[in-house]
Structure 1
Amino acid sequence: MSNLLRRILLLRSPSSVFSHGFSESPLKSLTYFSVSSEIVSSPKSASLASNAVRLENNRKDVIALLANHGFSESQISALAKRFPPIFSAKPEKTLLPKLLFFQSKGLSSPEIVRLVCAFPRVLTRSLDKRLIPSFEYIQAVLGSEKTLAAIKRSADILFWDFQISVGPNIEILKQIGVPDSNILKYLHYQPRVFLTNSIRFKETVERVTEMGFNPRGLLFVIAVFALRSMTKSTWDKKVEVYRNWGLSEEEIHLAFRRNPWCMIASEDKINGAMDFYVNKMGCDSSFAARRPVLLQLSLKKRILPRGYVYQVLLSKGLIKKTENICLLFESPEKRFIEKYINPHKEQIPGLLELYEQKLMDSRR
């Protein structure tokens, strides 16, 4: 391979745009123009070189466009690594109309940057055939404000043909009596749960029905999401984790019916929470089946800091071991401080500060 062709291949590499920053052209670093005599020596080489120059100029135009719309140098570099096709797209014809479209729908410049950085393929999707129809369908279902919130949360929903992929699944839920309000609530918060083959979605809905969930309750839709978010093998592994803590099959299903989130938690989180409640708090393992909401709470940010306060109060004889543990962990922050910390300020000076320190440690 000639030296010229090696240079041209380097020019085709998206990373070459960023290897020297934006202030220095990669063409200079490759001493491209120093080989003009070699270029003209072959029509084929001249054609390749011309294409390389066009590609490089296009990349520069894309970089300028992104920079003008609020993208930082590091963000543009990250895009080059994650999704190089953006830098081959025509900036004015392909990229700019999509940036302006999101702007016209109420997304701020920082929000558009976050959206593109999270889902760069959105800039290469057809505006007329995919983005606009998807946006309009979601907006017709959710309304403008919730549509923006859903897109900010998961912009890849714009990649789908909602009328074909989501519409049938919404109808499946409606046919068994799921209220529109519950469907819309979950479509807003977890739109991806509906982006699946309608046959598999119906099978999941039927399984949730067989488990005894009431279609009119919000837990029904949450259970559908829980089952849709994991494979059967993942479900079986989590069932085994609970079994290892002494829960029966019936207790595990009871916990899931009461709070499906207990099966969405990771195996590590389940083990961590169960270890704390059983070994540190002295609770019976079936306690989790009766109050599975406790397994969904953050171990570091809620369970451990409040558990520390409980142990201190218990050691001082200020509360009994039979104290309502559910209230201790489930109470909102203000209520927890009013009930478990403020009444004991005199007996245990600095208890609030110690608790706040535990919270700070959990955020590190």
Structure 2
Amino acid sequence: MLRLRSCIASHLLSPTSCSTSPTSHLRRRLSSSAPPISPNPGFAVEDYLVDTCGLTRPQALKASRRIPRLKSSSNPDAVLDFLAGLGLSSTDLAATVAKDPKLLCADVERTLAPKVVGLTGLGLSRSEIARLVALAGTHFRGTPIVSRLQYYLPFFGSFENFLRPVKRSSYLLGFDPERTVKPNVTFLRECGLDDCDIVKLCAISPSMFTAKSRRVREIVACAEGLGVPRGSGMFRAALQAVSHLNEEKIATKLEYLKKTFRWSDAEVSHAVSKAPALLRKPKEALRSRSEFLISDVGLEPAYIAHRPVILYYSMERRLRPRYYVLKFLKVNGLLDQNRDYYNSIVLSEMAFVEKFVCPHKESAPDLAEDYATICKGELPANFRFT
């Protein structure tokens, strides 16, 4: 089996393969090496999935129900050797079989090998094909994956860019680009998005590629309803924010934002048009930011509404630690009382430290350590104000 594995991999993927096709090499190797498949009275699918494929017993029980006609280990062994020859680890093999047990019944010579040859012809390396197999699930075996990647790879610009949406949803591979994806791409271009924007949008919301055109138009209408016009710099973010929400859920979230931050209708509309991702923030995260920024920091609701990106930042790593540094400096007369909180929040970590911590090494020698401490979630004694 190990020799078969290495031969398959080398003949399929070696750049030194010569004039004869890789599939012909593979066909000769399989026909001479693979034993005929015959029923094995002692063969137990569930045990094979556990002992040979590495599935857990519950996974094996579920998977075995999808391959009731499997009566021998001959074909599954050939499939596993073929996949291992591509570079899939034992962990990847187990996960791949768990996703698609019927892969064990696939014909290596007629089904799997031609796909690998085709993907290699598109410029994919052995390791890239292995990663694709591990993510694709049933789509590697059951769809014309080569022809689909002929469209996707040039559009996404790189294999890595293409993998991002596939990691979120392998269903992208299940749709015919001509019938579903291309019409949606054309419409998004008409909405003012360039291909780079569409690729970034799809990486977060693959359904924008695969949804029915009516649904994509509904999503665009919802984004426009937030006050974000087509062609604006915030339009892609608005599409991402509403891509999995309906009008009822959007209305409910807007009402929650109004109540939590004490905003007027105009203020909540302004905030969401400038920071659409607020619609995707968990309610608890929004509530804790409201309590901190309004009650502790003392910011006015209107101030937050006009600077809504402040709500994107981490409470533990940025909002709270920087507030305490500024308050310490102000209490000790080391900083102007009117210094704006928001302007300190939007600085990079390096810029914040250089501007508000480093200049006070002599007057506040413990400030750097105290700042590091509060970033870890602990409140140092110097930051306990009465």
Structure showing the higher helix proportion among its residues: 1
Change in CA separation of 1:88 and 1:276 when aligned onto 2, cut-off 3 Å: farther
1:255, distance to aligned residue in structure 2 (A)? 0.9
Residue identity in the other structure for 1:17: Y
What is the CA-CA distance between 1:287 and the residue it aligns to? 3.1
For 2:301, give the aligned amino acid: S
Are 2:151 and 1:137 aligned? yes
Residue of structure 1 in register with 2:61 after alignment: none
* Partner Cα distance (1:92, 1:332) in 2: 55
Change (3 A) 1:170 1:66: closer
Which of 246, 251, 264 is matched with 2:267 structurally? 251
**Pairwise CA distance, 1:324:** 1.8
1:154 equivalent in alignment to 2:185: no
Identify the residue that residue 81 of structure 1 maps to in structure 2: 98
2:51 is matched with: 20
Q: Report the RMSD for the aligned CA atoms in angstroms.
A: 3.3
What is the aligned partner in structure 2 of residue 43 from structure 1? none
Cα pair 2:83 2:93 within 8 Å, conserved: yes
TM-score for the superposition, normalised by structure 2? 0.71
Shift of 1:124: 1.8
TM-aligned CA deviation for residue 333 of structure 1: 2.1
Amino acid at match of 2:79: V
Structure 1 residue 258 displacement after superposition? 1.1
For residues 66-121 of structure 1, give each alpha carbon's deviation from its aligned partner in whole angstroms, at most 9, with x where no partner exists.
Answer: 22222222232233333322222233433344445555545555554444434423
Pick one of 238, 254, 277 that aligns with 2:253. Answer: 238
Which residue, out of 329, 343, 352, partners 2:368? Answer: 352
| 76-85 vs 95-104, which moves further | 95-104
* Corresponding residue of 1:287: 303
Out of 174, 180, 183, the residue aligned to residue 168 of structure 1 is 183
In the TM superposition, what is the alpha-carbon distance from 1:230 to its structure 2 partner?
1.8
CA-CA distance at 1:289 after TM superposition: 1.5
Kept in 1, the 8 Å contact 2:229–2:235? The answer is yes
Is the alpha carbon distance of 1:109 and 1:182 closer, same or farther for their aligned partners in structure 2, counting shifts above 3 Å? closer
Q: Which amino acid aligns with 1:282?
A: G
Please list every run of 5 or more consecutive structure 2 residues that lacks an aligned counterpart in the other structure. 1-39, 55-68, 379-386
Partner deviation per Cα, 1:119-158 (whole Å, 9 max, x = no partner): 423322323xxx233323234544x33xx23322012323
For 1:195 and 1:10, locate their aligned partners in 2 and report how far apart those are by CA, in whole Å.
41
- In structure 2, do the counterparts of structure 1 residues 319 and 254 end up closer, same or farther at CA, with 3 Å as the change threshold? same
The one-letter code matched in structure 2 to 1:121 is T
Cα offsets for 1:29-64 (capped at 9, x unmatched): xxxxxxxxxxxxxxxxxxxxxx6543x222222222
Q: Measure, in 1, the Cα distance between the counterparts of 2:360 and 2:123.
A: 50
Match of 2:318 in 1: 302
Contact 1:62 1:91 in 2 (8 A): yes
Which AA in structure 2 matches 1:180?
D
Structure 1 segments unaligned to the other structure (5+ residues): 1-6, 24-50
The answer to whether the 8 Å contact 1:69/1:109 transfers is yes
- 1:256 is displaced (CA, Å) by 1.2
**In structure 1, C-alpha distance between the alignment counterparts of 2:189 and 2:218, rounded to whole Å:** 15
* Aligned position for 2:294: 278
1:251-300, CA deviations, whole angstroms, 9 ceiling, x for partnerless residues? 22111111212212222322232232223322123333211111222334
Distance 2:259 2:41 in 1: 61
2:350 maps to what in 1?
334
Greater shift after overlay, 95-104 or 322-331? Answer: 95-104
CA distance in 2, matches of 1:8, 1:320: 85
Residue of structure 2 in register with 1:221 after alignment: 236
1:46 paired residue number:
none
**When the two structures are superposed, what TM-score results if normalisation uses the length of structure 1?**
0.74
The sequence identity of aligned pairs, in percent, is 24
**1:286 partner SS:** helix
Which stretch of structure 1 is more off in the superposition, 235-244 or 184-193? 184-193
Q: Tell me: CA distance 1:109–1:272, structure 2 relative to 1, closer, same or farther (3 Å).
A: farther
Which secondary structure state, in structure 1, belongs to the residue aligned with residue 365 of structure 2? Answer: coil
Tell me how far apart the structure 2 counterparts of residues 304 and 342 of structure 1 sit (CA, whole Å).
19
Aligned pairs, number: 320
